[in-house]
Amino acid sequence: MDMITIPAVNMTPILPEIFLSVLAMALLLINVFIPSGQKSYLGYISFVGVVAAGVLVGAGWGAPVESFSGSVVQDNFATFFKIIFLLSAGLAILISDQYMEREGCNHGELYPLILFTVVGMMLMAAGTDLMTIFLGLEVMSVALYVLAGFNRANLKSNEAGLKYFLLGSFSTGFLLYGMALTYGATGTTRIAKIAAIVGQMTVPSANIMLVAGMLLMLTGFAFKVAAAPFHMWTPDVYEGAPTPMTAFMSAGPKAAGFAALLRIFLVALPTLQVEWSQLLWVLAVLTMTVGNITALRQDNIKRMLAYSSIAHAGYALVGFAAGNGTGAAGILFYMLSYTFMNIGAFAVIILIGKKGEANGTVMDFAGLGFKQPALAVAMSVFLFSLAGIPPTAGFIGKFYLFSSAVQKGYIWLAVIGVLNSAASVYYYLRVMVYMYMKEPTEDFEWTRITPPIALSLLISVAGTLIPGIVPSVILQFAEQAVKLI
Amino acid sequence: MENLNSYLIVSAILFSIGTIGVLTRKNAIVIFMCIELMLNAVNLTFVALSRHLGNLDGQIFVFFVMTVAAAEAAVGLALMIAFYNNKESIDVEDINIMKW
Amino acid sequence: MLGAYLPILLLVIVAVLFGLVSIVLSSLIGQKKPSPVKLAPYESGCTPVGTARERFSIKFYLIAMLFILFDIEAVFLYPWAILYKKLGVFGLVEMGTFIVILFVGYIYVWKKGALEWE
Any domain includes A108: yes
Report the domain count for chain B. Answer: 1
- CB contact under 8 Å between B75 and A142, yes or no, is yes
- pLDDT bin (cut points 50, 70, 90) of residue B28 is confident
- Does the bond joining A242 to the residue before it have cis omega, within 30 degrees of 0? no
Q: Looking at the complex, report in whole angstroms how far the Cα of residue A169 sits from the nearest Cα belonging to chain C.
A: 17
Residue A411: CB atoms within 10 Å: 10
pLDDT of residue A317: 93
Q: Looking at the complex, report in whole angstroms how far the Cα of residue B97 sits from the nearest Cα belonging to chain C.
A: 24
Any domain includes B100: no
- CB contact under 8 Å between B64 and A131, yes or no, is yes
- pLDDT bin (cut points 50, 70, 90) of residue B100 is very low
Any domain includes C116: no
Neighbours of chain B (3+ CB pairs under 8 A): A, C
Best mutation site among B29, B63, B85, B86 for testing chain C: the one with the most C CBs within 10 Å?
A: B63
Any domain includes A5: no
pLDDT of residue B61: 94
Q: Which CA distances in Å does A153 have to A6, A160, A179, A249, A359? A: 49, 12, 38, 20, 19
SS3 A25: helix
CATH code (residue B35): 1.10.287.3510
Report the domain count for chain C. Answer: 1
C44 φ/ψ angles, rounded to the nearest 5 degrees = 50, 30
CA atoms of C107 and C118, how far apart (whole Å): 19
Best mutation site among A176, A234, A298, A302 for testing chain B: the one with the most B CBs within 10 Å?
A: A176
Low-confidence ranges of chain C (pLDDT < 50): none
Any domain includes B99: no
Any domain includes C118: no
Q: Looking at the complex, report in whole angstroms how far the Cα of residue B7 sits from the nearest Cα belonging to chain C.
A: 23
CATH code (residue C105): 1.20.58
- Chain B positions contacting chain C at CB under 8 Å are 63, 66-67, 70-71, 73-74, 77-78, 81, 84
Domain span at residue A95?
12-483
SS3 A377: helix
Q: What is the mean pLDDT of each run of 10 residues along chain A (485 residues)?
A: 74 91 93 76 91 92 84 91 95 90 85 95 94 95 94 88 92 95 93 91 86 93 89 90 93 93 90 87 92 90 92 93 89 94 93 78 84 90 91 91 91 92 91 86 71 92 91 87 76
- CB contact under 8 Å between C107 and A32, yes or no, is yes
Any domain includes C64: yes
pLDDT of residue A124: 94
Residue C7: CB atoms within 10 Å: 9
SS3 A1: coil
SS3 C61: helix
Any domain includes A4: no
Instruction: Give A28's contacts in chain C (Cβ within 8 Å).
Output: 104, 108
pLDDT of residue B96: 63
Domain span at residue C58?
2-111
Pairing label, strands A65-67, A72-74: antiparallel
Strand partners of residue A300: A361
CA atoms of A189 and A174, how far apart (whole Å): 16
Report the residue of chain A nearest C90, measured CA to CA. A6
If we measure between CA atoms, which residue out of A426, A419, A402, A188 comes closest to residue A316? A402
CA atoms of A161 and A23, how far apart (whole Å): 25
Any domain includes C63: yes
pLDDT of residue A142: 95
Between CA A261 and CA A216, with CA B15 as vertex, the angle to 5 degrees is 20
Averaged pLDDT score across all residues of chain A: 89
pLDDT of residue C20: 94
A360 φ/ψ angles, rounded to the nearest 5 degrees = -110, 25
Single pTM value for the model: 0.89
CA atoms of C100 and A312, how far apart (whole Å): 42
Beta carbons of A325 and A482 less than 8 angstroms apart: yes
Any domain includes A375: yes
Beta carbons of A413 and A281 less than 8 angstroms apart: yes
pLDDT of residue C106: 92
Name every residue whose Cβ is closer than 8 Å to that of residue A141 and which is 6 or more positions away in sequence: A120, A168, A169, A172, A224, A253
Q: What is the pLDDT of residues B42-94, one digit of tens each?
A: 999 999 999 999 988 999 999 999 999 999 999 998 898 888 888 777 677 76
Torsion (CA) A24, A28, A34, A36 in degrees, nearest 10: 100
Q: What is the pLDDT of residues A107-143, one digit of tens each?
A: 888 999 999 999 999 999 999 999 999 999 999 999 9
- CB contact under 8 Å between A236 and B98, yes or no, is yes
Any domain includes C101: yes
Any domain includes A143: yes
Q: Is A356 left (phi over 0), alpha (psi -120 to 50) or beta?
A: left
